[in-house]
Amino acid sequence: MTNLGNIIIAIDGPAASGKGTIAKKLSEYFGLPYLDSGLLYRIVASEVIKHNIDPTKKRLVIDHVKKINFDRIDNGSLRNDNVSHVASIIAQYKEVRDVLLRYQRSFALNGVVMDGRDIGTVIFPNADYKFYITATLEERTNRRFMELLEQNSELNRNIVKNDINNRDQRDIMRKIAPLAKADDAIEVDTTFMKIDDVIDFIVKYIHKDKKS
């Protein structure tokens, strides 16, 4: 573990690009807290479902999100289609994003490695380091397909590809905080890279920058 102080490392990128795995490993290496920003939206979605709130009823969702203690939520059952669907709805509400933005910034008071889709552009525009992790659609499809295949042996690869492509389009075209590479972010194409190689590149980049 290498401690460089309370730095903020922003990791952005599309679905299945590897940003989550990379962010976790970086947090371990630098001894920094880690936060998956997408998980916050899943927590809200899960709470909305749990309390039988119609996710299209914007005011009800906004009122409820203000009551959620994100530090006391069980994250065990947040990755399913229903939660994902509701999360995509509530993520369009500016008021919900504002509540989560405040939480994300308070979480980072002692430094952080945070991954998402608007970390370097909206949440931490002045982050110490910004990386945009990407890969081709085909490679990202392969990764997600192999991951999901363990849960469903009859899974169709084309369905996975369409889901990822549709998610990309929704994220890019979203009016509020769309997926975008920050102007000062370092882009890392992981299509032909192993995770350890990506970590090695980012770690060396940060250490070199610290010495300069």
In the DSSP assignment, the letter for residue 15 is T
What global pTM score does this model have? 0.91
Which two structure tokens, joined as six digits, stand for 117? 């889709």
Would you state the pLDDT for residue 83?
85
pLDDT of residue 195: 95
pLDDT at 92: 87
H/E element holding 36?
A: strand 34-36
Residues of the chain below pLDDT 70: 1, 73-77, 79
Residue 149's pLDDT is 85
Q: What was the pLDDT predicted at 123? A: 97
User: What's the distance, Cα to Cα, between the start and end of the chain in Å?
Assistant: 21
Closest CA to 160 of 143, 179, 135: 143
**Domain spans in the chain, listed from the N-terminal domain onward:** 1-33+111-207, 38-108
pLDDT attached to residue 74: 62
Name the token pair of 99: 């509540």
> Domain 1-33+111-207 sits in which CATH superfamily?
P-loop containing nucleotide triphosphate hydrolases (3.40.50.300)
